[in-house]
Chains A and B, each alone.
Chain A
Amino acid sequence: MWHVLTSDQELLRDTTARFLGDHVPLSRQRKDLRRDPAGFDPSYWRSGAELGWTMLLVGEEDGGGSVSGRGAVDLALIAYEFGRNAAPGPLVDCNVVASALTGHAGDLQKGVLGEVLTGGAIAASVLGHAPWQNPGEAAITIRKQGDDLIIDGTLRPVESAKQAGYFLVTGRSESGMTQVLVPADAAGLSVTGLRGIDVTRRFGAVSFDGVRAPASALVGEYGQAGAQVSRQIENAAVMLTAEAVGAMDMAFAMTLDWAFDRYTFGRALASYQALKHRFADMKSWLEASHAIADAAAEAVADQSPLAAEKASAAKSYIGEQGPELAQDCVQLHGGIGVTYEHDLHFFLRRVSLNRLLYGTPAEHRRLLAKIQIEKEAAA
């Protein structure tokens, strides 16, 4: 994260950090919240929304706003604290949907955005067709029937699917990508809860069996949603990588302490050159991850020409090195590193899960390659 912040940004970050420390300490997530269906209390999410968690990518005319004028940067500060605390809640999806809905005139869109802003409703993104897929690979299709839209297909994983009041569904239409906003109680829509790798977060499979939505539920133009979906993925990449960096910082700090405290053969682990060099490698990954996560947040906030590339570079680099770092931390802890009692696994879960969401490293590398190939063809 950034070396220098404004006092407003520090206040935003510190308020969230204190709130998370008070309400969802690891001690509570380890026991009470482990079997909780949502992983958090509704009041937790509403209080978080009051702290600004869901408003930073939303225009002021829609009731949103940022503290620095760069919403994605401010949101990265929040996401970083989520990572440091392995905090529960659909921060990424609610912000992705909020960013998609801001600026839309429709009553449905405005209403849902209002509920997301207050934390009264949770909205999840169902990315049933992604830019790294070939047209035939889409999991969800959306077609026109008269004035209505018909949605078919199944997608998993969808975050907080059981808790969500609304889904922003991305699917393939014959003319391209389409996005539709659908209430969770729509006929033909069903959600199956999943067991997952992160005990602090919940996922489900969402099925659409001829779900019917009016044309007014479209977000963007029918068949023309490609560009907006790409921007949503960039926003998601900013949050997921900032979270991952927070989790990496915690895992690394914990393991560094362990290296000084743990003695074996009469010496601290920190005195073995073989281990010192591994810490040095991890430190270089960590600094590099901070650097590219920050750069991605700035580029996305500023809508720079390099925004897509920096977001994909961050998502692929941190997606790769985050789990590598966390697994190395497990290895350096030895047996205690794979116990549920120890805190380390919360951060391993966070970085491993974030690697998978909104595009794996391989998928983002292919996006980067496409941009590079286009650039060199134009040159």
Chain B
Amino acid sequence: MSEQIESVETFRLRAREWIKANLGPIQPFDLTQDCADDEEELVAVARDRALQRKLYDGGFAGLCFPKELGGQGLTPEHNRAFNEELAGHEYPSRFTVPTFTPCAAVIMEFGTPEQKLAHIPAILKGEEFWAQMLSEPGGGSDVAGATTSAVRDPATGDWILNGAKVWTSRAWWHDWGIVLARTNWNVPKHQGLTVFLMPLQQAGVEIRRIERLNGETEACEEFMTDVRIPDSDRVGEIDGGWTVGQRWMFHERMGHNSPYVTQPVGLSHGRTEATPVAIARQAGRIDDPAAQELIGESRALGLVASELQRRLASGAAAGKGNTDMSSVARLFRGMANVRQRTIAFDLAGAGAAGWTEEESDGVGVQGMEFLMRQVSCIGGGTTEISRNVIAERVLGMPREASGDKGVAFRDVPRGPKRS
């Protein structure tokens, strides 16, 4: 059944017209997911659901999802054109990551026909927000060392889940999660994992908000106690979870560049930050040569970081260097961000000690930004892990000794030995 696909340019004009007629200007809470309080956040969530439904009814939801699942069956080029037309307009920002990718992407790649039918149309209609449940309190970078356990109930064939997951963004209002769990403790760690789909808002799932040191509470921790999951909500093979997991993490890395994600181009994520020049000016130090050196250093690091990204991309395109070179970019970005935060803190001077209720950027907030500085070297895999990857897989140095290679996971040390 070869159906003629609408040309990108015709599609673009149709999209432009529809967007103009139906979508308002971009809102502050589209640029950043941060809201003043939970009440405002729930309003934003409801508004995102309604906006996603509007896209669905207008025939513009899920451009790269198949038609039989409620999508439009179009190409990444159509999605890019739509995103370009969407510039400056409001959009359902909370669906982009992690709902469309990695969650919907994983269901598309590994889900059964029934799972796809049950969830992809619901996601595209704005009815289901999805969270990804990968990290655990007991293991940061060692994702495959998951200890959340799923045990088969021989009577019903259901799985009984127990354990905890952590760093799940805004899980407290999400509907579903994909979960990586251990189903076999008698084989090495990568061979005993399985992936499940799980409703989040249920009795056996306790969701706790994690307060970061700056007071912000977007991340959550979930404790699962005897959560019953039917086998029909298993994704991929039993004990085949690492196959799913590796692609899951690929889709996670794709993030906002995924063809499944619809969002306006030209968006900068996170809050709109005061520039080093603005901070120095506000601090009354713009003519100070020492301050100018800091401003210039910060600017240079920004230029170097983007050129490094370009070099690594061109190296990959030319077949030079291996895929682990991406760890070089991760390490550089982490260290450069840390330095830039420190520079902003230095430029702000004593003014960074306190701020008024009205200040959302500038000198006053640099103190708190500084306290949160190391996030850029922790989130998404620590810089220590990237240093290991660079040393071992790029430079070919000997691997670190590990206690879990070829060992049944049951026998892998998970804490200090006690006599």
Chain A: residues with CB nearer than 8 A to chain B? Answer: 3-4, 256, 259-260, 268, 270-271, 273, 276-277, 279-281, 283-284, 287-288, 290-292, 294-295, 306, 309-310, 312-313, 316-317, 361-362, 364-370, 372-373, 376
Contact = CB atoms under 8 A, between A and B. Distances in A.
Contact of A280 (B301, B305, B331): B331
Most buried by B among A291, A292, A310, A376: A291
Given A284-B328, A294-B311, 18 more contacts: A4-B314, A270-B395, A270-B397, A270-B398, A279-B391, A280-B387, A283-B394, A287-B332, A295-B307, A309-B303, A313-B299, A316-B296, A316-B297, A317-B304, A365-B297, A366-B293, A370-B292, A373-B277
Interface string B62-86: 0000000000000000000000000
B398 to A, nearest CB: 4
Contacts of B307: 288, 291-292, 294-295, 310
Interface string B372-414: 0000000000001011101110110110100000000000000
A208 to B, nearest CB: 28
B397 A3 contact: no
Nearest to A290: B311
A259 B332 contact: no
Nearest to A256: B395
Contacts of A362: 293
Interface in B331-388: 331-332, 335, 384, 386-388
Interface magnitude class on chain B = 35 or more
A191 B278 CA distance: 46
B314 A366 contact: no
A14 B328 CA distance: 28
A280 B277 CA distance: 32
What DSSP secondary structure best describes chain B's contact surface? Answer: helix
Nearest to B320: A3
Nearest to A259: B397
A3 B277 CA distance: 35
A234 to B, nearest CB: 14
Interface string B225-260: 000000000000000000000000000000000000
B215 interface: no
Contacts of A291: 304, 307-308, 310-312
Contact of A283 (B275, B294, B318, B328): B328
A294 B325 CA distance: 18
Contacts of B277: 369, 372-373, 376
Given A259-B397, A280-B386, A283-B328, A365 B300 contact: yes
Nearest to B334: A284
A373 B310 CA distance: 26
Contacts of A366: 289, 292-293, 296
B292 A287 contact: no
Contacts of A316: 296-297, 300
Nearest to B317: A3
A288 B315 contact: no
Most buried by B among A256, A268, A368: A368
9 contacts: A276-B391, A281-B335, A284-B390, A306-B303, A309-B299, A365-B297, A369-B291, A372-B296, A372-B299
Nearest to B305: A288
A364 B331 contact: no
B295 interface: yes
B64 to A, nearest CB: 31
A294 B310 CA distance: 11
B122 interface: no
A280 B286 contact: no
A250 to B, nearest CB: 16
B394 A292 contact: no
